[in-house]
Every structure is written in structure tokens, then in C-alpha cells.
């Protein structure tokens, strides 16, 4: 029995933040599959989704500053909010670079990278509400870890293909920035999952 009630609205706010990632990953996937002339419109929508995600992050931070007793460690809530924001930032960066660099046909493995991010976003959005009970979360962080390992293998294979087969140094540099951003996005999702595991262990 707690003498001071804990503010549970953080669970809803974290859930909202994670749902923006699903929107962002879907838009990134659509951008990748679109004709080059159509990609700018998707990039604009992706930027808007990133701004909405930023606002969700700011709402969590404001709530943290206004709340005396939090449902779990204040530092961990801050870490989750920041981590979710990083996931969206990297996806938006990748989409923006594809448009800004006017990349035409991207290697098929780039689509594999984006598919991993899309799946990570879905799993993360599904997991955030379960922080309320701290139940049935282990499968989430195990699967995210597996997906991140898959993303690492795809990234290495992509780099090998690019540098073995590429002939235009400028185009290689442009493409590498995109695949680096996508790889960073997968790493960011794993960091969120690792933090969820840490929180669950603390609260068990």
C-alpha cells in the first residue's frame, strides 16, 4: 500500500510516443517503395510525424517536471522517452536523405533494413502499455535483440555490396549515409528494449 499515489499517466504518454514510431516506419516504407518524384510528399509526412513524436516527448518531460512520485524510476522514464525519440529521428533522417540526395534505385537490402525498423516499431508500440503491469515483456526484448542482430548482418552485407560493386564514389557516400541512419535506428530500438528489460528487472 503506497502512502503517496503514483502518476500512471506516463504509461499512456509512452504508449502514444511509441505509436508515432509505427506511423513513421510505415511512411518510411512507403517512401522507399515510391517513385522518386513521389518521395518528397512522403518525406513531408514523415517530418510531420517526427514533429508529433517530438511533442509527445516534450509532454513526457513536462509531466516529469510536474510529478513528485513516478510509477518507476524517473531517470528510466526520461531514458525511455529519449530513446523513443531517437528511433523516430533516425527514421526521419533516412527518409530525408533519400529525398535530398535524389537517390533513384536503392539496393534491395535497404528495404530489408526498413522492414526490420517497421517490425521493431510495431513490437515497441505493443510493449509500452505492458509497462503498467510489467508482465509479458520478455518476448519483446528478446525479439528486438534478434531483429537488431538481423539488421547488423544486413548492414554489413549492404556495405560489402556497395563497396565491391559501386563505381561512383559520390553516390556511395550518399547511400552510406542512408544505410548508416537506418542501422542507427535499429540500434536505437534495441536500446529502448534493453532499458525496458532493466526496468522490468528493477520492478520485479
- Please give the DSSP secondary-structure letter assigned to residue 69: S
Tell me how many domains the chain contains: 1
Q: CA-to-CA distance for 77 and 131, rounded, in angstroms?
A: 11
Q: Is residue 15 part of a domain?
A: yes
Q: What are the cell numbers at 41?
A: 510528399
Residue 103 lies inside a defined structural domain of this protein: yes
Q: Does residue 1 lie within any of the structural domains?
A: no
Q: Is residue 2 part of a domain?
A: no
Domain presence at residue 37: yes
Q: How far apart are CA 98 and CA 114, in angstroms?
A: 13
**CATH assignment at residue 58:** 1.20.58.220
Q: Report d(CA 69, CA 155) in Å as an integer.
A: 42
pLDDT tens digits in sequence order for the chain, 204 residues long:
333 344 558 889 999 999 999 999 999 999 999 999 999 999 999 999 999 999 999 999 998 888 777 788 889 999 999 999 999 999 999 999 999 999 998 999 999 999 999 999 999 999 999 998 888 899 999 999 999 999 999 999 999 999 998 789 999 999 999 999 999 999 999 999 999 999 999 887
Taking a C-beta distance cutoff of 8 angstroms, is the pair 32, 114 a contact?
yes
- The three-state secondary structure class of 204 is coil
In a domain, residue 4? The reply is no
Asked whether residue 3 is assigned to any structural domain, the reply reads: no
For residue 30, the enclosing domain spans: 9-203
Q: How many CB atoms neighbour CB 107 within 10 A?
A: 17
Amino acid at each position: 500500500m503506497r502512502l503517496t499515489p503514483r502518476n500512471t499517466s506516463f504509461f499512456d504518454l509512452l504508449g502514444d510516443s511509441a505509436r508515432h514510431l509505427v506511423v513513421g516506419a510505415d511512411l518510411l516504407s512507403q517512401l522507399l517503395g515510391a517513385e522518386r518524384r513521389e518521395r518528397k510528399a512522403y518525406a513531408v509526412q514523415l517530418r510531420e510525424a517526427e514533429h508529433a513524436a517530438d511533442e509527445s516527448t516534450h509532454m513526457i518531460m513536462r509531466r516529469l517536471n510536474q510529478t513528485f512520485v513516478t510509477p518507476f524510476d524517473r531517470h528510466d522514464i526520461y531514458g525511455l522517452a529519449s530513446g523513443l525519440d531517437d528511433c523516430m529521428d533516425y527514421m526521419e533522417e533516412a527518409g530525408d536523405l533519400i529525398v535530398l540526395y535524389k537517390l533513384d534505385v536503392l539496393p534491395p537490402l535497404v528495404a530489408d533494413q526498413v522492414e526490420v525498423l517497421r517490425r521493431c516499431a510495431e513490437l515497441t508500440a505493443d510493449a509500452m502499455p505492458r509497462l503498467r503491469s510489467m508482465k509479458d515483456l520478455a518476448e519483446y526484448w528478446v525479439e528486438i535483440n534478434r531483429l537488431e542482430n538481423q539488421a547488423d548482418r544486413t548492414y554489413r552485407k549492404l556495405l560489402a555490396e556497395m563497396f565491391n560493386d559501386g563505381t561512383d564514389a559520390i553516390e556511395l557516400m550518399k547511400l552510406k549515409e542512408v544505410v548508416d541512419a537506418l542501422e542507427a535506428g535499429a540500434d536505437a530500438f534495441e536500446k529502448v528494449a534493453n532499458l525496458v528489460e532493466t526496468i522490468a528487472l528493477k520492478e520485479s
